[in-house]
Structure 1
């Protein structure tokens, strides 16, 4: 039964058992050696020696999430372009044209986001019409 298991499988099994043993040892030592002081001040949050005021539940604007999404999108773009730049000699002109189309599509998307105001941080001011209706 154990003769079929290769040396790599044994090494992986020993690694997993060792990792679990280290985790259990650290948790056990923390439980045995850790402090057990109880008190009213132990349950209060500590913020650099200053008593906390107010609630921790703050409402963030949706702009923060939009900026995070834009970052992820353009960060993935950088990953694709890095992979392309590593293999630029092997891909030749076809790869260059494909990368140019890819960058062009992303620029079109960026211009679209800019035009609809998705990149504007402050709210837009209403435009007043100066029409005289006399």
Structure 2
């Protein structure tokens, strides 16, 4: 039974080995021509005017998190649409419930002002 996994193990070993060899070859054979222009910090073509480690507003993370949540939930619609003929009325009702819950969450976030950017 374990013999069935030997090709997978071999594939993983060869992949890791090849990756390591290519990374090491890049460091050894790569050109080393540092100059002031290459080593300078880059921020939209002009010199940095603030510390690059400044804190972001928490609203940025909130909007990003909401986008990921709603984007991933909408991704569940595609497989459902492909098998729509096979799932029947139960599948339509289940997806309807799913969309209602998604809509309630969206309206809640909208009412709380999480989507407003001041």
| TM-score bracket for this pair, using the shorter chain length | 0.7 to 0.9
Tell me if structure 1 keeps the 8 A contact 2:63–2:114: no
Tell me if structure 1 keeps the 8 A contact 2:41–2:48: yes
Task: Select the structure with the greater relative contact order (CA < 8 A; seq sep ≥ 6).
Answer: 2
3-state DSSP of counterpart to 2:76: helix
Q: Does 1:66 align with 2:66?
A: no
- Cα distance in 2 for partners of 1:13, 1:118 equals 47
Compared with structure 1, are the counterparts of its residues 10 and 31 closer, same or farther at alpha carbon in structure 2 (3 Å cutoff)?
same
CA RMSD of aligned residues (A): 2.7
Unaligned runs of 5+ in 2: none
Q: Which residue of 1 aligns with 2:39?
A: 44
Bigger Rg over Cα:
1
TM superposition shift of 1:92: 1.0
Normalised TM-score (structure 2): 0.76
Q: Which residue of 2 aligns with 1:89?
A: 85
Tell me if structure 2 keeps the 8 A contact 1:88–1:95: yes
The runs of at least 4 aligned residues of structure 1 exceeding 4 Å deviation read 36-39, 48-53
| Greater share of helix | 2
Q: Number of paired residues?
A: 117
- Cα distance in 2 for partners of 1:71, 1:21 equals 38
3-state DSSP of counterpart to 1:114: helix
Q: Does 1:119 align with 2:118?
A: no
